[in-house]
């Protein structure tokens, strides 16, 4: 074998070794890249997913057109009467669009700046056409005093009525997620999740009722009374800036 032939032979061997090494290395890289797919992800992916889930906890869920934790979302504090929707930012006078008027006895009462008022005996909006009442609390988030009709809807309560006709009207009023008088406990859990707090109490009829709360802060919460697996009273409270 001459010198040139030997050099060509050595060069071919070197090339073969390099090619083999690349094939082996490529296989290792491919294997490494495939491992996460074969095992369903990696720890970093899981951590990112959990972080994303926590960050999205209060965001809208497109699957059920709702929120994962409604008690923490201001937009969930609303009341729907017919085709009209009112939120905690609505003025009490706005509900006149649905026939609910401020009690004459308190329409001139002052609501101090940055305060809410418990109106004993007068904290109701009444619909004269169907004789139904909605209990409310006026809240004033401005820097000036205002009157009851111009105050915001700080809280609202809908309760069972003794009269069947009135009851039928009240049952059509909806809270977030379509919850209304007559909804079941299962309906509540489906919309709001498991309660923040739940207790049983004796009622005046000799039976029991369950008080269910979904709470974000002291003055921002949903409350429901459930008797015989039916919602008989529902309320929410949101005093705006007092929560911040």
Domain total of the chain: 2
CA–CA gap between residue 27 and residue 64 (Å, rounded): 45
Q: CA separation (Å) from 40 to 46, 47, 96, 196?
A: 10, 13, 57, 34
Q: Which domain holds residue 21?
A: 3-55
* pLDDT value at 52 more than 90: no
* pLDDT value at 30 more than 50: no
111, part of any domain: yes
Q: Where are the alpha helices (DSSP H) in the chain?
A: 3-38, 43-55, 164-170, 185-192
CA–CA gap between residue 175 and residue 85 (Å, rounded): 10
Tokens of 128: 């004269």
88, part of any domain: yes
pLDDT, residue 230, reads 97
- The reply to whether 50 and 98 lie within a common domain is no
105-148 pLDDT, tens digit each: 888 999 999 999 988 778 999 999 999 999 999 999 999 999 99
Measured distance between the N- and C-terminal CA atoms of the chain, rounded to whole angstroms: 91
Average pLDDT, whole number, for the chain? Answer: 81
CA–CA gap between residue 73 and residue 61 (Å, rounded): 12
Among the ranges given (15-19, 100-104, 198-202), the one the predictor scored with the smallest mean pLDDT: 15-19
């Amino acid at each position: 074998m001459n010198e040139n032939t030997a050099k060509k032979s050595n060069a071919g061997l070197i090339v073969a070794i390099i090619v083999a090494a690349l094939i082996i290395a490529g296989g290792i890289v491919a294997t490494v890249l495939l491992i996460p797919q074969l095992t369903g992800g990696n720890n970093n992916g899981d951590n990112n997913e959990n972080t994303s889930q926590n960050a999205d906890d209060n965001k809208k869920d497109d699957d059920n057109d709702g929120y994962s934790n409604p008690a923490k979302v201001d937009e969930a504090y609303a009341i729907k009467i017919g085709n009209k929707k009112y939120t905690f930012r609505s003025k009490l006078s706005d509900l006149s669009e649905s026939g609910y008027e401020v009690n004459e006895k308190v329409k001139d009462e002052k609501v101090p700046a940055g305060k809410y008022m418990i109106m004993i005996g007068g904290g109701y909006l009444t619909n004269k056409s169907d004789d139904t009442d909605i209990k409310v609390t006026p809240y004033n988030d401005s820097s000036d005093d205002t009157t009851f009709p111009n105050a915001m809807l700080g809280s609202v309560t809908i309760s069972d009525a003794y009269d069947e006709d009135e009851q039928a009207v009240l049952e059509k009023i909806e809270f977030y997620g379509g919850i209304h008088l007559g909804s079941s406990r299962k309906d509540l859990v489906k919309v709001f999740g498991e309660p923040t707090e739940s207790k049983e109490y004796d009622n005046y009829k000799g039976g029991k009722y369950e008080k269910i709360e979904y709470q974000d802060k002291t003055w921002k919460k949903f409350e429901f009374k459930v008797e015989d697996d039916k919602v008989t009273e529902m309320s929410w409270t949101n005093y705006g800036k007092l929560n911040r």
